[in-house]
Structure 1
């Protein structure tokens, strides 16, 4: 029986992996959510989001080419700071990623509800699943798991075909809508930025960032890539640049294609027939029923592609957590098809369970986005620490001005979390607390001294969020909030650098053959 993952993924396959994750339910549902939060200025949310995510992507491009290991985000923290930091980052990343399959299932069913009324119902402005809808979501999640159990070649084969569709069909749909109606007056009639810069940031930190986050999923498959030094930077950076242009175009078309009567009561109250599937609803309003049929078909294909890839990459994350000693060896068992079958099954079950606590698509993606951004914050700290710990380690892609770049990247992560609001930050902090308890129960105090810098980091974001203007007390001004988080980011980076493992322990975690680390170099 195989004991190692297979190197079957090409540069094109890896790029398509990231694109497939980034063009899922986000393009189908995020436009109306962003427009309600920021009005026409939601276009700026996509631009800023692309720029900010690019910083994070470039940071991970160095880490993932220097250390191309399965489930990379679970491992970088271990190499630089040991088991406790690795577990918390892994916990957050896993919690976020394992929820993607049910999220995409919700999007499929939300669009399908036009034809199958028993799938969803409205409670105020919130669209919820019926019992039949929940059962249908469970079937979709397990179907995605079954395809992945068949092997990585099967998954990539399906995904490459799906990604070609997911790139071409949305572009065709958006072009057709813009050709039939594009009212430039929509961008100024109620003001370009009716809810101020705060609305732009709110849209950015919720549904916008969610749509970009798939860029890093390619690094979770690093151990299965034929040429990681070339393929990973192309996939990480190329996918972000493409999606920034695509999503700005998408949002502009959505705003321009709406009729002024649809936002007569303000963009917050934007509403029209069949807006549960916003682009299909706009096509129907324009009399383009054939186009709405194409969109409804895409509402099955696009989320399926994203859910398919996340099911694969999340299982590799669980594999890495098992190899790190956080989970039983049962989770790291490789099947005859060369995939972590048990991890895929477990993640499918957990994904189904997560359908319960989050009542709608927006609530689920908002929490997901901020959990993974908090996990991403290990990237810049691990980068500067590993530069010191392993100065001679091969780095095919080396970031210039690493300390400055890492400081900016960490500050970006802190701001993205803060902009999501106290109502999202609070459960996020609780989730970290649960993770710490689980670590203590399984690993005791192992490497705990190297994780103490997490405490001021979490206190900083918690206090500023509670006192800030995004669902907080509103005591701090925007300038004060920004200054505190910037200075705090500098301090956290310094503390994280000082708290790094010594070189011998880093080498131990990197070279420990007893845990069978997957190395694709």
Structure 2
């Protein structure tokens, strides 16, 4: 009876609020300035293009999870359409990226509180020991919120979402009333920006980071009412709502910047905390406390939601034999999550928080990991339904092009992380099946490294076409599934150890 009551608890309304919560985190306090710097007056078009791309990726994602609404479906897509060995790089990228976000949001909140908590919180642009202790305390708070289960999470999230949306809308309203100068858009030379900057800004300005919350709903797929209808609706509705919010915020920010700050164009607008800094310049100091309060609420809401999401991802990886078997056990019916998975992700978040230098330093690498994870959606959709292959190929090429806008150093770092984790997995779990490990585990890793060395969007796009058509070909997919079915008849490696 307990299990039946816990199943399918999330309505469409709560699901939309859940996604919106994750898409209005710490990014809203930084993105408007970064987009203006990187795209100038093309900032609005850049936001629209980003939203269209996200909805395209979301369409691929929903096509998979509505057919297979499993717990933690985001990390299981490739294992469902192909096999666990093929899907391991995507699973690691999805899980690893979300785990890093948890630490990033806790760190962002601590940094925003630093001016009020004293100079000892920050040291040379990084959190001090005291600051990191506060950040760990926030992570403990995220854990407690998740500990009391999905029902409490939905109730708390609905309230927090209303507060998160109210605060920026109130700030936008005050800025619109107090200081708006439309001439900011016409008196600044925008000729230095090009169509390439529109695409580049999507990654470097934090748009992917801000919109990434759309995929959270896939991790709760098994707990959504009427998933076939509500999952795609949730993604589309939430992305459009958040797009409208970011467009309004972008207009308000760019129109409210005083003329004296635009002597060097939009590139010259460089404030450490853009929204707070702008209100101070305009003499709207009464908004300071409200903004600082929201800077605690917004990142924290993303943090505790992603902690729950990442635990479901790790649970799913364990079910597909991509992680130790104990991580898919001990599901408390009152809490709605795997306790071991939750604690592992909490520990990883703590480690990253203690090692991280700054919020900005993690944003691009997190975005790169997100892009790698997104690639699983069009591949899995096309493998499960060959009729969707043309659309899936287009989305895959677009994601590849976005990857090429990531700084080379961050591409290298993410490739090293994913390759290390994947090769480690293949050595441990595939040592008795070397041929299969190379056949299923290496193609995507080779694709990632070939994209890194290509240094050209055209070459990278050609490589994307070749790789996509290869891994979605019926013979390759059938070979993957044959190996998967054979492996599922064997006990989990962890179970063998337990029996011994």
Q: Could you tell me how far 1:514 is from its partner in structure 2?
A: 8.4
Task: Summarize deviations over 1:219-241 as a string: whole Å, max 9, x none.
Answer: 10011112211221111111112
Distance 1:19 1:505 in 2: 40
Q: Give the secondary structure class of the aligned counterpart of 1:235.
A: helix
Greater mean deviation of Cα atoms: 92-101 or 5-14: 5-14
Q: Tell me which protein shows more helix as a share of its residues.
A: 2
Task: Select which of 457, 473, 481 maps to 2:447.
Answer: 457
1:379–1:407: structure 2 CA closer, same or farther, 3 Å change rule? same
Task: Summarize deviations over 1:389-416 as a string: whole Å, max 9, x none.
Answer: xxxxxxxxxxxx6222111110111011
Q: Are residues 1:402 and 2:354 paired?
A: no
Q: Are residues 1:497 and 2:498 paired?
A: no
Q: With the length of structure 1 as denominator, give the TM-score of the two structures.
A: 0.86
Distance 2:63 2:120 in 1: 44
Q: Give the secondary structure class of the aligned counterpart of 2:30.
A: helix
Distance 1:202 1:134 in 2: 32
Greater mean deviation of Cα atoms: 494-503 or 140-149: 494-503
Say if 2:83 and 2:480, in contact at 8 Å, map to a contact too. no
Distance 2:372 2:153 in 1: 28
Q: Could you tell me how far 1:61 is from its partner in structure 2?
A: 1.5
- 2:225 is aligned to 226
Task: Summarize deviations over 1:37-87 as a string: whole Å, max 9, x none.
Answer: 333433332122111111101111111111111111221101222111222
- 2:173 is aligned to 175
- 1:474 is aligned to none
1:193–1:255: structure 2 CA closer, same or farther, 3 Å change rule? farther
Q: Are residues 1:75 and 2:72 paired?
A: no
Q: Could you tell me how far 1:357 is from its partner in structure 2?
A: 4.3
Q: Are residues 1:251 and 2:271 paired?
A: no
- 1:102 is aligned to 103
- 1:62 is aligned to 63
Distance 1:330 1:189 in 2: 62
- The aligned runs of 1:141-160 (5 Å cut-off) are 141-160=139-158
1:54–1:484: structure 2 CA closer, same or farther, 3 Å change rule? same
- 2:159 is aligned to 161
- The aligned runs of 1:17-416 (5 Å cut-off) are 17-118=18-119, 120-121=121-122, 123=124, 127-192=125-190, 194-206=192-204, 207-271=206-270, 275-332=271-328, 333-337=330-334, 338-388=336-386, 402-416=388-402
Q: Could you tell me how far 1:434 is from its partner in structure 2?
A: 0.7
How many residues are aligned here? 482
Distance 1:160 1:330 in 2: 32
Greater mean deviation of Cα atoms: 239-248 or 108-117: 108-117
Q: Could you tell me how far 1:30 is from its partner in structure 2?
A: 1.9
1:509–1:232: structure 2 CA closer, same or farther, 3 Å change rule? farther
Q: Give the secondary structure class of the aligned counterpart of 2:307.
A: helix
Say if 1:106 and 1:361, in contact at 8 Å, map to a contact too. yes
Q: With the length of structure 2 as denominator, give the TM-score of the two structures.
A: 0.90
Q: Could you tell me how far 1:198 is from its partner in structure 2?
A: 4.2
Task: Summarize deviations over 1:275-306 as a string: whole Å, max 9, x none.
Answer: 43321221222222222222111111111111
Q: Could you tell me how far 1:36 is from its partner in structure 2?
A: 2.9
Distance 2:318 2:367 in 1: 24
Unmatched 5+ stretches in structure 1: 389-400, 468-480, 516-521
Distance 1:513 1:312 in 2: 30
- 1:8 is aligned to 9
Q: Could you tell me how far 1:192 is from its partner in structure 2?
A: 2.8
Task: Summarize deviations over 1:249-273 as a string: whole Å, max 9, x none.
Answer: 21121111111222434433423xx
Q: Could you tell me how far 1:247 is from its partner in structure 2?
A: 1.1
Unmatched 5+ stretches in structure 2: 493-500
Say if 1:72 and 1:222, in contact at 8 Å, map to a contact too. yes
Say if 1:77 and 1:378, in contact at 8 Å, map to a contact too. yes
- 2:416 is aligned to 430
Q: Give the secondary structure class of the aligned counterpart of 2:322.
A: coil
1:335–1:514: structure 2 CA closer, same or farther, 3 Å change rule? farther
1:506–1:8: structure 2 CA closer, same or farther, 3 Å change rule? farther
- 1:477 is aligned to none
Distance 1:96 1:116 in 2: 29
Task: Summarize deviations over 1:13-50 as a string: whole Å, max 9, x none.
Answer: 11111111101111122222323333343333212211
1:503–1:84: structure 2 CA closer, same or farther, 3 Å change rule? closer
Q: Give the secondary structure class of the aligned counterpart of 1:501.
A: helix
Q: Could you tell me how far 1:148 is from its partner in structure 2?
A: 0.4
